[in-house]
Structure 1
Amino acid sequence: MTNPYGQQPGQQPYGQYPQYPQSGTYPQQSGQQPYGQPSGGFPAQQPYPQAGYPQGPGYGAPQGYPGQPPYGRIPPMPGQAHIVVPGSQIQFPHTPPLVLATMGSRFLARVIDGLIIGVPLTILILVLQFAVIAGDPGSFWIVLLFLPLTSLSMLVYEGTMLATRGATVGKNVAGIRLVTEQSAGQPGTGIGGGPAFTRLATMVLPGLIPCIGGLVELLVVLSPFFDEQARQGWHDKAAKTYAISTKALY
């Protein structure tokens, strides 16, 4: 028997849908696992995040594995400082922010130390030259000793003072102190023999190369201008040292 609409008994009228319980379940075929339930021994899947419920770090929060820094932030390597203000301030884990020495003060320190080393050496070379030439007019080779003696004097003078005090006479006058990660928190201490002589060897030994040695040495001296972050020269990077200011800022 059909109804007036031509439908069989038990069939829903046109335009109507079967009513299911409000529990969110749907009719299942015989032998079929309920939707979302595990089958075959696999563990049940976790539900997708629901709006209004916490599901881990919020949007925009730093991400990363436990014990690692957030994405985009790389900690400084051992011996390196954290850049607080590029070209102006650095900081080590155990120190407050340290003000970097200006290039003007570093130039002043270099001039003073150059005079301290250069003037006595010039006088010594002139005395030896006149003494040798007086006995042997063809002995101009004495002038060739000037460059090696200058380099040796810098290694002894600056190396000793930087290792023990962190500053030479010129750096004290200009208000500069060289620090490493270990010495930064101990005012008045030196940077140690290893960093001191590594720094100086990188700076002065290229000058012994014939023909181009002087140019290489000049580039090393000017290399702090190439670093806009920490004002480290190539010799500073080799020794992991930083030139900081010891004068108060007003």
Structure 2
Amino acid sequence: MSYPPPPAGDPNNPYSQQPPQQPQGQPGYGYPQQAPQGVPPQQGYGYPQQAPGAPQQPYGQQAAYGQQQPAGSSVQANNGYINLVSGPVLLATMGQRFLARLLDGVIVGVIMTIAMVAGLGSVVGIAGNAAEDCGSYMDPGYDACMNEAAAQASSGVAVMFGILGIFALFMLLYEWLMIGIKGATFGKMALGLRVVKESTGGVPGVGAGFIRYIIPMVGAFICYIGMLLTYLSPFFDNSGKLQGWHDRAAGTVVIKK
């Protein structure tokens, strides 16, 4: 059994009503708006606009709305710079640090050689003079002369060890105070390197300089293996700051001025 179709235009019949027409020129709901001809399209609501020609950031790496990207991290990738309180500085390379320590070793070695030669020279001179002055062992005063020469030689040996003690004190004060007060030894100065406090960008200070010096020295007691590992430890630093164990303990970094 079929029914006749309802009359068109019946206001009480919902099937006879036509959907409202969208005004001409306006997009429908849920569709992007079309800009008039000749006007550049605008970005959607809620997204920051970018200047024409600006590089587009990959999806997922854009900053949150209303936030700005930080000016720089503590270590800039693959360029050797680090941002301190005083500004960006260039880290010293391991090659530069090795050459600086080599120069310091030459300076210390020359001073040590002078001290050893002076001490041994005095002992050898005393022994040679005794051999000439005391004469033959058959002479009556030979024993007394040799005893006196032996006493002089002993005093010469004591002087030599005293010089070595002064040299050891010089080594302590050289590395410790030069780093703590000046931020660089003569070897580092020659290569334009400087040790600075990471938190301030200034000289480390006497306390940090002593910590930085004493850690390799303690390692030297184990056949110098600990000292060697300490100086090689910047290779194992995964922070990108090339900090050795002594640098981390003292809170310092080595930079190129």
Give the TM-score range, shorter chain. 0.5 to 0.7
* Corresponding position of 2:93: 102
1:235 to 236, 242, 246: 246
Q: Separation in 1 of the partners of 2:110 and 2:256?
A: 27
Can you list the C-alpha shifts for 1:66-94, whole angstroms capped at 9, x where unaligned?
xxxx9xx9x98xxxxx1113471111144
Corresponding position: 1:193 with 2:206: yes
Shift of 1:143: 10
Can you list the C-alpha shifts for 1:178-204, whole angstroms capped at 9, x where unaligned?
1113552x5xxx320111111011122
Distance 1:181 1:231, change over 3 A: closer
* Corresponding position of 2:143: none
Q: Separation in 2 of the partners of 1:215 and 1:146?
A: 27
1:217 to 213, 223, 227: 227
- Unaligned runs of 5+ residues in structure 1 are 6-49, 64-69, 77-81
Shift of 1:62: 5.5
Q: Calculate the aligned-residue CA RMSD, in Å.
A: 4.7
Report the 3-state secondary structure (helix = DSSP H, G, I; strand = E; otherwise coil) of the residue aligned with 1:84: coil
Corresponding position: 1:157 with 2:148: no
Distance 1:205 1:55, change over 3 A: same
Shift of 1:130: 6.6
Q: Separation in 2 of the partners of 1:207 and 1:144?
A: 20
2:76 to 84, 88, 94: 84
Q: TM-score, normalised by structure 1?
A: 0.55
Q: Is the 8 A contact 1:178 1:242 kept in 2?
A: yes
Aligned residue identity for 1:239: A
* Corresponding position of 1:208: 221
Shift of 1:245: 0.7
Q: Which structure has the highest helix share of the two?
A: 2
* Corresponding position of 1:34: none
Aligned residue identity for 2:212: R
Shift of 1:131: 3.0
Q: Separation in 2 of the partners of 1:141 and 1:51?
A: 98
* Corresponding position of 1:166: 183
Q: Separation in 1 of the partners of 2:228 and 2:162?
A: 20
* Corresponding position of 2:109: 118
The answer to which of 108-117 and 122-131 deviates more is 122-131
The answer to which of 199-208 and 115-124 deviates more is 115-124
Residue identity over aligned pairs, in percent, reads 36
Q: Separation in 2 of the partners of 1:150 and 1:141?
A: 14
Q: Separation in 2 of the partners of 1:151 and 1:180?
A: 26
* Corresponding position of 1:244: 255
Q: Is the 8 A contact 2:194 2:255 kept in 1?
A: yes
Can you list the C-alpha shifts for 1:135-160, whole angstroms capped at 9, x where unaligned?
679xx999999998776433210111
Report how many aligned residue pairs link the two structures. 186
* Corresponding position of 2:26: none
Report the 3-state secondary structure (helix = DSSP H, G, I; strand = E; otherwise coil) of the residue aligned with 1:110: helix
Q: TM-score, normalised by structure 2?
A: 0.54
Q: Separation in 1 of the partners of 2:219 and 2:167?
A: 13
